[in-house]
């Protein structure tokens, strides 16, 4: 495919952003957009709003903001919808989540109060630590999927939206192994009709989104769009998908540090990560089933970055441990500690300690925004199936079957920028740089 094959539909009209889960991340995101639109805050951390990239050769001194360079939905033209097992509107939910100061929340109260969730598709077998009454009823999982599809269509019509995207911001479900009902579209649809217990609520939302041709991003470590049946459906219906698990606190740090250690060929004998957090996400993760899902997502990062099979003497015996401790007094203000045991020249040991006092939802909100806008762009470019160029945002980035996912944040950023350069008809940047020295001709 060359640039001339890609035509990008304009971002005219209104974009509806659908959010399963109206908790800390979603409400911090919605409140942020309202605050930015009112001019009382800046969209810090968002590439789509503040990012720039270089164009052409370094000697040309050209650069562009991402939002000037590719057509993205304007923040004034977005609206929000979603589902939750609690009926609180986004203002009430944000007040309970306690991420944002009351003073700021009061300033965006009108915008938040009008975002009211729709009743959720929920299964207590998948999330054990919380229960809510605001849930849909249906004889089969297919009935529930149909109800979600109807919600999506009604939302679009009632809000005058031209396009929709869905970003999963609901709780982490318990860990499940892939099963036969996840393998093909036919088996999955049969499973929906038969109420197969191995079909999780998040998979029902994903199915509904794809059937309505709504791009879907998975912000949790759930196995939702990760199953072959739904990836096949996304391809068949030409819908963009991406995941999994927003890359925010500790894993963000890991994907900064581990590639650096590996590029210097410093060895690693152990990486011990522990953290405390007290929000509802932490409460849900106190259940071993949900924690297992998160743990798999977090543990895979190091192995994939370090490639122990290729470098057995450096990374063949890494003791990697991850703990999440639910500690209510901290609320959303997580604290993470990492102890990293490395070794250098002649095997001499060294240690690195990282103590990150982060705010989970403050880090996650701009990711939700960028994913919503970039997934809308992808759909308008007819980029369907897995959007690997959005790996930058995920702990467990999806990649085509047989491909190793890319975890290095800087490589992920280059991939994202190059994809945008490609869309805008600009030269891709490979950092070879020999032309500046006359060694290679232009």
Ligand X SMILES: NC(=O)c1ccc[n+]([C@@H]2O[C@H](COP(=O)([O-])OP(=O)(O)OC[C@H]3O[C@@H](n4cnc5c(N)ncnc54)[C@H](O)[C@@H]3O)[C@@H](O)[C@H]2O)c1
- Give the residue with the Cβ less far from ligand X, 83 or 207: 83
Verify binding: residue 243, ligand X, rule CB under 6 A: no
Q: How many CA atoms lie within 13 A of 205 on its CB side?
A: 33
Residue 242 found at the interface with ligand X (CB under 6 A): no
Three-class SS state of 88? coil
22 interacts with ligand X by CB under 6 A? yes
Question: Pseudo-torsion of CA 212, 216, 220, 224, nearest 10°?
Answer: 60
Binding mask 67-86 for ligand X (x = CB under 6 A): ----------------xxxx
Among 31, 209, 322, 363, interactor with ligand X by CB under 6 A: 363
Within 10 angstroms of residue 353's Cβ, the number of other Cβ atoms is: 8
Nearest to 84 by CA among 280, 230, 278, 215: 280
Q: How far apart are CB 125 and ligand X at their closest, in Å? A: 11
| 116: its two tokens | 């009211």
What's the sign of the alpha-carbon dihedral 278, 279, 282, 286?
A: positive
SS3 63: strand
C-beta closer to ligand X: residue 184 or 325: 325
Please identify which residue in the block is written with the tokens 């109807």. Answer: 150
Which residues face 277 on adjacent strands? 326
The smaller minimum CB distance to ligand X, of residues 11 and 365, is found at 365
Beta strands, E only, 107-168: 118-119, 163-168
Stretch that binds ligand X, among 16-24, 103-111, 142-150, 307-315 (CB under 6 A): 16-24
Residue carrying the six token digits 């405390």: 276
Residue number of the CB atom closest to ligand X: 23
Which is nearest to 364 in space by CA: 214, 217, 153, 180? 217
* 148/115 Cα distance (integer angstroms): 17
Tell me how far, at minimum, the Cβ of 18 lies from ligand X, in Å: 11
- Least distance to ligand X from the beta carbon of 122, Å? 4
Q: What is the token pair recorded at 271?
A: 């990486």
Rounded Cα gap, residues 408 and 306, in angstroms: 10
Per CB under 6 A, the segment of 18-26, 67-75, 349-357, 402-410 that binds ligand X is 18-26
CB of 395 to ligand X, least distance (A): 7
Of 131, 221, 126, whose CA–CA distance to 168 is shortest? Answer: 221
Report how far residue 196's alpha carbon sits from residue 91's, in angstroms, rounded to the nearest whole number.
Answer: 36
Member of 49, 176, 361, 419 binding ligand X (CB under 6 A): 361
Per-residue binder mask for ligand X (CB under 6 A), 174-213, x = binder: ---------------------------x------------
Closest to 26 in 3D by CA, of 118, 90, 77, 108: 90
Q: Residue 310 CB, nearest distance to ligand X (Å)?
A: 29
Minimum CB separation of residue 390 from ligand X in Å reads 15
Q: 193 by DSSP, 3-state: which?
A: helix
Tell which positions 118-147 bind ligand X, by CB under 6 A: 120-122, 127, 130, 132
Q: Which of 147, 206, 218, 248 binds ligand X (CB under 6 A)?
A: 248
Q: Interaction with ligand X in 263-282: which residues (CB under 6 A)? A: 279-281
Show contacts with ligand X in window 281-300 (CB under 6 A).
281, 284
Q: How far is the CB of 115 from ligand X (least distance, A)?
A: 13
**Region near ligand X per CB under 6 A, out of 43-51, 164-172, 178-186, 223-231:** 164-172
Residue 126 Cβ vs ligand X, minimum distance, rounded to whole Å: 7
- Checking DSSP bridges between strand 78-84 and strand 319-326, what pairing results, if any? unpaired
Nearer to ligand X, 295 or 426 (CB): 295
Among 33, 97, 257, 258, the residue binding ligand X under the rule CB under 6 A is: 97
Q: Which residues contact 402 (CB under 8 A, 6 or more apart)?
A: none
d(CA 319, CA 82): 40
CB under 8 A, 24+ apart: contacts of 155-159: 155/16, 155/18, 155/81, 155/118, 156/16, 159/14, 159/16, 159/79, 159/81
Q: Which of 66, 170, 301, 342 binds ligand X (CB under 6 A)?
A: 170
Candidates 189, 212, 245, 338; binder of ligand X (CB under 6 A) is: 245
Report the interface residues with ligand X, using CB under 6 A. Answer: 20-25, 83-86, 97, 120-122, 127, 130, 132, 169-172, 201, 219-220, 245-246, 248, 279-281, 284, 360-361, 363-364
């Amino acid at each position: 495919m060359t640039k001339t094959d890609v035509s990008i539909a304009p971002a005219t009209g209104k974009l509806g952003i659908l959010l399963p889960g109206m908790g800390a991340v979603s409400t911090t995101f919605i409140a942020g957009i309202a605050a930015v639109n009112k001019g009382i805050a800046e969209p810090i951390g968002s590439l789509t709003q503040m990012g720039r990239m270089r164009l052409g050769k370094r000697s040309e001194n050209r650069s562009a903001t991402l939002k000037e360079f590719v057509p993205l939905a304007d923040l004034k033209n977005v609206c929000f919808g979603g589902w939750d097992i609690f009926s609180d509107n986004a203002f009430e939910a944000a007040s309970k989540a306690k991420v944002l100061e009351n003073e700021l929340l009061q300033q965006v109260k009108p915008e938040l109060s009008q975002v009211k969730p729709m009743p959720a598709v929920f299964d207590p077998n998948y999330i054990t630590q919380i229960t809510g009454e605001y849930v849909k009823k249906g004889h089969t999982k297919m009935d529930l999927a149909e109800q979600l599809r109807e919600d999506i269509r009604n939302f679009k019509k009632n809000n005058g939206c031209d396009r929709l995207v869905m970003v999963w911001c609901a709780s982490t479900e318990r860990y499940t192994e892939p099963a036969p009902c996840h393998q093909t579209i036919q088996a999955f649809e049969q499973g929906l009709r038969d109420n197969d217990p191995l079909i999780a609520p998040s998979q029902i939302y994903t199915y509904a989104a794809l059937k309505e041709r709504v791009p879907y991003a998975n912000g949790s470590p759930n196995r939702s769009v990760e199953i072959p049946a739904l990836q096949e459906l996304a391809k068949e219906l030409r819908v963009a998908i991406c995941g999994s698990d927003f890359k925010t606190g500790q894993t963000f740090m890991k994907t900064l540090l581990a590639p650096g250690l590996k590029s210097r060929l410093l060895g690693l004998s152990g990486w011990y990560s522990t953290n405390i957090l007290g929000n509802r996400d932490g409460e849900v993760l106190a259940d071993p089933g949900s924690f297992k899902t998160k743990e798999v997502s977090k543990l895979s990062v190091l192995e994939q970055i370090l490639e122990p099979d290729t470098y057995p003497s450096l990374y063949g015996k890494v003791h990697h441990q991850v703990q999440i401790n639910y500690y209510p007094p901290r609320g959303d203000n997580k604290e993470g500690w990492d102890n990293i045991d490395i070794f250098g020249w002649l095997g001499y040991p060294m240690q690195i300690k990282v103590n990150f006092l982060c705010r989970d939802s403050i880090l996650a909100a701009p990711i939700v925004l960028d994913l919503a806008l970039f997934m809308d762009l992808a759909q308008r470019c007819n980029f369907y199936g897995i959007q690997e160029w959005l790996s930058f945002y995920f702990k467990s980035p999806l990649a085509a079957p047989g491909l190793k996912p890319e975890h290095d944040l800087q490589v992920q950023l280059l991939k994202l920028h190059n994809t945008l350069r490609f869309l805008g008809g600009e030269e891709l940047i490979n950092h070879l740089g020999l032309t500046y020295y006359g060694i290679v001709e232009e």
